[in-house]
Structure 1
Amino acid sequence: MNSRSAPPKLKILILSTPVGALGSGLGGGVELTIANLARELRSRGHAIDIIAPTGSELGDLSIIQIPGELQLTAQTQEQAASIVMPGDPVLANMWAKARSIEHHYDIIFNTAFDWLPFYLTPFFDRPIAHFVSMGSQIAAIDLAINRVAIDFPGTIGVCTRTQAETFSFADLCCVVGGNGVDPAVYDYCETPEDSLAWLGRISPEKALEDAVAAADRTGIKLKIMGKIQDPLYWDKIQRDYPHAPIEYLGFLPTHELQQSLRTCRGMLMTPRWVEAFGNVAIEALACGVPIIAYRRGGPAEIITDGKTGFLVEPDSVEGLIAAIDRLDEIDRADCRHAAETVFSQSAWGNLVESWFYQLLDRKHAK
């Protein structure tokens, strides 16, 4: 773009995750990512449309509803898994729709962590900004992303450097951040109650059982919020810790979530895998809630150890318990300040908007 003139307003088409309808919780953090980014870019004057599975809802955002069967989530599959498509795949249907209307837009923003969008990239005329929201999970998908990273430089965006380093093509990735929150949506709480929080999809890679074990041993109530993605896993946790002081509040919309979260002394993050980012971390910071997390993946790049929370040895319940004892050392105002500055929706919008303009510059230079 010409630096001497104001950058143009863009028409942006966002392609959603194919693992669940937006608003269902099945898409995990990608759902909040899409909602926050779409609203931020719209506030800057850009035109935004979203293609997503039928049943998707994101308030007043424009969604093109696409029918079809949902995809399997990548994190539930093995590294050597083959590419699987159902008989009437919503993923293929979404991208067929995108292909038919692409010329109405300047750029396409892909959030699907799946093989097909990367394979289709050469067949699109408009540049595709691929937002990769997970680390390496399936070798076949890694290979597809790698090819795009080489053939279409600058189009692979990741949340954190830690996430990028799970791929062999880390140096070809652009770190564009994982999300940003609107602090006005979250109420700051200076004087919490004696409780802890755990937020996320309830599935084995999130290791909720470690947080429950810490609550069981400290006797501090643990509020659990999130979609039960694996009911058998959730049932086992309840059987293994029948007397733990836990309360399951369900999958909550943001305004209800933050009301329960804000009053907690701290939030536990216990991922067994490499989290790409950690949307729940910046939501907690916006409420002034310190975070205790395993020193693994994205949370290690979000939390300032000793200032906005504590980073502990991965998979160590003892480490969680020791950090819980130190929560009063954290100034909750520092947590809120981080959300208002480094992890604000506006700051993230700047990063993504700049990425889009760079891709368009490269396209026009050809």
Structure 2
Amino acid sequence: MTDRSLRLVLVSTPIGWVGSGAGGGVELTLSSLVQGLAQQGHQLTLIAPRGSSLPKGCSTLSIKLVEVAGADQPSWQHADEDAPVLIPPMGVLPAMLEEALRLSAEADAVLNFGYDWLPMWITPWVPAPMFHLISMGAVSMVMKRAIESVSRWNQGRLAFHTLRQASDFDLLQPARVVGNGFDLSQYIFREESGGPLGWAGRIAPEKGLEDAAAAAAALGDRLLVWGLREDDAYANAVEAAVPAGTIEWRGFLSTSDLQKELGDCRALLNTPKWNEAYGNVVVEAMACGVPVIAYDRGGPGELVRSGENGLLVSPDDVSELTAAVSRCETIQRRACRDWVERHASCAVFSQRVETWIREGLAADGNITAMH
């Protein structure tokens, strides 16, 4: 018997409205998954902060957008290890969860994208089956414990982007890894291999831009930099440490504009200083045919197959990073695109997520979602 469509309530990140860029890679993940699940015929309601819009490519699909007012939730991204839980007065996070639970009576499951304590804590106590796509590693002790607590109660409710991300947590069972997905129709493959070096990500210390800039400077090369400038003092310090003209700031661009410029690069440098959960820009570059030279750390170290779609170098080793640039032309650009098509398309990603949710519901005895 053919599986019937699922009725899903999706809860967006509470850090900025969808389209603002404040949610970082979660926004791209959300966009891809909403599109993929809708194309598979599932009935979706997306709950997001006021001002949000449906992701590009979703306007013609049957998706209901519910906007909720409230103050943005502080990000755990830069929190200290022992940071406490903070919820602003009139915060958007509890307001979105209230709406999700109200709508869950007519849904099969709630899928949460927000990396925060409150949705984890309420999961065992609400009648709605709540699933969580975890977007970061263990950035603080309270979040580590909250995620591990859900794991001990029912690990089937958790999924991760990579095994390296999941390794941050003490799980009782092997982690469910769903990867990530991209609308590949938005990324034009570029066969030519010339052009400058590129770097993309939030402009913040944990992303390690200074190492990429130092490598470009050592080669006398330009480094195109794309991303939301979160920390001006850090950005200015990185620029001051290399010769004038080394860094060319390109700003935070739409996917369409980013891939046009990114595709011109001969390589993308990826230099995370922390356990990156996945590495969206790594896959975006490869989708354009651009090889990635990455530190063998976190998600990027799991995505880059050295010699196939890029090169891995020792973490924090700028000299090794610099030397690897001369070898990037040994990577076939078509092989980069082929890897993405096999492992990280919208369809592949959404099917993994659907399977995870169906199996989780079935394990809980909810057989109606399976038929």
TM-score range, shorter chain: over 0.9
3-state DSSP class of the match of 1:310? strand
- Measured after TM superposition, the shift of residue 226 of structure 1 is 0.8
- Equivalent in 154, 157, 171 of residue 156 of structure 2: 154
Question: What does residue 44 of structure 2 align with?
Answer: 48
1:36 aligned onto 2:37: no
- Alpha-carbon distance in structure 2 between the residues aligned to 1:241 and 1:27: 30
- Alpha-carbon distance in structure 1 between the residues aligned to 2:149 and 2:332: 46
State the AA in 2 paired with 1:237: V
- Alpha-carbon distance in structure 2 between the residues aligned to 1:275 and 1:192: 27
1:240 aligned onto 2:241: yes
Question: What does residue 131 of structure 2 align with?
Answer: 129
Q: Deviations over 1:211-234 (max 9, x none)?
A: 111111112211111111112211
Q: Deviations over 1:310-331 (max 9, x none)?
A: 0001011111111101011111
Question: What does residue 87 of structure 1 align with?
Answer: 89
2:104–2:128: 8 Å Cα contact kept in structure 1?
yes
- Measured after TM superposition, the shift of residue 242 of structure 1 is 4.6
- Alpha-carbon distance in structure 2 between the residues aligned to 1:32 and 1:101: 24
1:292–1:312: 8 Å Cα contact kept in structure 2?
yes
- Measured after TM superposition, the shift of residue 286 of structure 1 is 0.7
- Measured after TM superposition, the shift of residue 171 of structure 1 is 3.2
- Alpha-carbon distance in structure 1 between the residues aligned to 2:173 and 2:215: 38
Question: What does residue 256 of structure 1 align with?
Answer: 257
- Measured after TM superposition, the shift of residue 238 of structure 1 is 2.0
CA spacing shift, 1:344–1:208, aligned 2, 3 Å: same
Question: What does residue 140 of structure 1 align with?
Answer: 142
3-state DSSP class of the match of 2:45? strand
CA spacing shift, 1:334–1:322, aligned 2, 3 Å: same
Question: What does residue 112 of structure 1 align with?
Answer: 114
Q: Deviations over 1:223-279 (max 9, x none)?
A: 111111112211222222252422111111111010001110010110000001111
CA spacing shift, 1:167–1:153, aligned 2, 3 Å: closer
Structure 1 length normalisation: TM-score?
A: 0.95
- Alpha-carbon distance in structure 2 between the residues aligned to 1:71 and 1:232: 23
Counterpart mapping for 1:291-306 below 5 A: 291-306=292-307
1:10 aligned onto 2:6: yes
- Alpha-carbon distance in structure 2 between the residues aligned to 1:44 and 1:88: 36
1:209–1:237: 8 Å Cα contact kept in structure 2?
yes
3-state DSSP class of the match of 2:343? coil
State the AA in 1 paired with 2:350: G
Q: Deviations over 1:322-356 (max 9, x none)?
A: 11010111110100100111222211122111001
1:293–1:312: 8 Å Cα contact kept in structure 2?
yes
- Alpha-carbon distance in structure 1 between the residues aligned to 2:69 and 2:135: 23
Q: Deviations over 1:277-311 (max 9, x none)?
A: 11111111110000000000011111110111000
Q: Sequence identity of aligned pairs in percent? A: 39
Counterpart mapping for 1:200-215 below 5 A: 200-215=201-216
- Alpha-carbon distance in structure 2 between the residues aligned to 1:363 and 1:103: 17
1:153–1:172: 8 Å Cα contact kept in structure 2?
no
CA spacing shift, 1:342–1:237, aligned 2, 3 Å: same
- Measured after TM superposition, the shift of residue 47 of structure 1 is 1.1
Question: What does residue 183 of structure 1 align with?
Answer: 184
- Measured after TM superposition, the shift of residue 169 of structure 1 is 2.1
State the AA in 1 paired with 2:22: L
Q: Deviations over 1:85-109 (max 9, x none)?
A: 1111111111111111111211111
Question: What does residue 276 of structure 2 align with?
Answer: 275
Question: How many corresponding residue pairs?
Answer: 361
Structure 1, unpaired ranges of 5+? none
**What is the root-mean-square deviation in Å for CA atoms of aligned residues?**
1.4
- Measured after TM superposition, the shift of residue 183 of structure 1 is 2.1
Structure 2 length normalisation: TM-score?
A: 0.94
- Alpha-carbon distance in structure 2 between the residues aligned to 1:223 and 1:187: 18
State the AA in 2 paired with 1:265: R
Question: What does residue 192 of structure 1 align with?
Answer: 193
- Measured after TM superposition, the shift of residue 173 of structure 1 is 3.0
1:213–1:244: 8 Å Cα contact kept in structure 2?
no
1:198–1:267: 8 Å Cα contact kept in structure 2?
yes
1:154–1:172: 8 Å Cα contact kept in structure 2?
no
3-state DSSP class of the match of 1:26? coil
State the AA in 1 paired with 2:288: C
Q: Deviations over 1:11-62 (max 9, x none)?
A: 1111111111111111111000000000000000001111111121224254
State the AA in 2 paired with 1:362: A
1:149–1:173: 8 Å Cα contact kept in structure 2?
no
- Alpha-carbon distance in structure 1 between the residues aligned to 2:174 and 2:77: 23
1:129–1:356: 8 Å Cα contact kept in structure 2?
yes
- Alpha-carbon distance in structure 2 between the residues aligned to 1:255 and 1:162: 29
Moved more, 270-279 or 238-247: 238-247
CA spacing shift, 1:328–1:153, aligned 2, 3 Å: closer
Question: What does residue 65 of structure 2 align with?
Answer: 63
1:219–1:244: 8 Å Cα contact kept in structure 2?
no
State the AA in 2 paired with 1:230: D
- Equivalent in 157, 169, 172 of residue 171 of structure 2: 169
Question: What does residue 362 of structure 1 align with?
Answer: 363
